[in-house]
Chain A
Amino acid sequence: MRWDWRQRSHDMTERRWDPTLREWVITATHRQERTFKPPADYCPFCPTEEDAEYPTAIPEPEYDMAVIENGFPSLQPDPPAPAVESTDLFPVEAATGQCEVVLFTEEHDGKMSEQPVSRFVKLVKLWRDRYEKLGAIDDHEYVYIFENKGEEVGVTLEHPHGQIYAYPFVPPKIERELESSDQYLREEGRCLFCDLIDSEREDGRRIVAENDSFTAVVPFHARWTYEVHVYANDHVPSIADFTAEDERNLGNLLNEILQRYDALFGFEMPYIMATHQQPTNGDAEQYAHFHIEFYPPYRTGDKLKYPAGSERGAGTFINNKLAEEGAAELRNAI
């Protein structure tokens, strides 16, 4: 049947199965219309001033931290029916789930590396709340906490913020990690990530920062020049398993990582931040291990690393620097 594009809904989300890579692809057509780089005076994430002509997305004149329902969600609690019919070879399902935006501060120009450690500790507590609340919903298999920071990684709103997607499936990169750790557990009797971080701490060459609960390293297999992974030192499957000391220590280490990033080249480092942890369907407690991954796109102070033919077309990253050298530079940045 020929597709008539004029019949398409303007608020259409669905997920389509790619049988070649065995992963879902989400289509969210309304995201073409999302707010794109508005001037600071029209920022939707700033508080609504008392004499404002138009309200922002925040209906109060001040706030500390806030979570708002994403105005242009890729996943929705009650999504529309898919635009095309599902077949055996081309499965399509409704894009069920939840998308939230996390506002780190009410300050539009608030530089996170200059925020006190307490703001990061608050953020960890907020993340934990959302992981637990969104994860308790039956439709949600994985609560993904992430941040896109900087124009270089495609950010369309400057106000300091992160995002949370509650997926109805375990996303493929996390699923592959968990399969590797599951296999390692069955073969070696230990969590893969526990052994990785123990080895990194013993070796020391790739460590960027550490405290009693967490260690930040440029991973042995870093894809990005200044990629950093923050691992829980002990076997902690998810943020829901944190002690109060863990919350403080993660806040402390995140603050330090951002300071090191911003000091490295003398400007606010853009990055993608991704949290990997136990799926909220309860699986993988023995082999899921909480960690956060940072992917900054700069390979020098004035050159970006573009994932291109080998990275996007073949799935093989080429790093321009030894992980040991990248870690040393970050250690010496402050």
Chain B
Amino acid sequence: MKIVVAGKGGVGKTTVSGTVSRALAQAGHRVLALDADTNPMLGVSLGLGPEQTDLLVAVREGLKTGETEHERTTEGFVERFGRDAPDGVRLVVASRIDQPNPGCSCCGVSAEQLLGEVEGGDGQIVVGDLEAGIGTVLRLQEGQADVIVVVAQPTAKSLEVARRALELAPERAPRVIVVANRVRDDEDLAVIHAALGEDHEYVIVPDDEAIAEADREGRAAIDVDPDSAGVRALIDLADRLAGIAAPA
């Protein structure tokens, strides 16, 4: 199964991707976490820490200086630009900061292509953390994602991006889930429902001090407090997603 996570910058895509990946791995699934953002940060939310995350990015940057060889096969790409994160999640950084599009155009590998080629079968679950905005969702082809998770928070800007993503998503994946993130009160939820409609499959993640602390400190939210309301909501999302795929 392949899950991609989209939304405006700063809405919590990476926290959702990282926490869901860890929760799935803790439940016994084999998880490949694909960082398809040109500003790769998924390592932080998986619990690798800021330094290790920047180190992985540096490996990708090494291509520019010729220190790293290009990798034209998907398997080689996952091997070379990946590393193991806590709970056995395999993290792959698919993008370079200095490349115009997610993926590696010099290797001929785009984020969408990687999503298309990585094997989501054999019980493996792929979680793709997409670049901010709707660019990658626009380019997604049928078969590259089984689930599109659109993350929104109660701000007009993020809801505008989510609304656009939701216009595109149903043609591109059989299942679409909306994560209403950082919900503090009924008014917040009402704003989200008013903008996006109530008919979607929703996961409501309350505004959460453990997640805020994880953000401040560069840690995985699931390591800061797995029992906080916000983290629990994301673990529930992982359980729901896992309902489709049996553990390996």
The reply to whether chain A is a binding partner of chain B is no
Residues of B within 8 A of A (CB): none
Residues of A within 8 A of B (CB): none
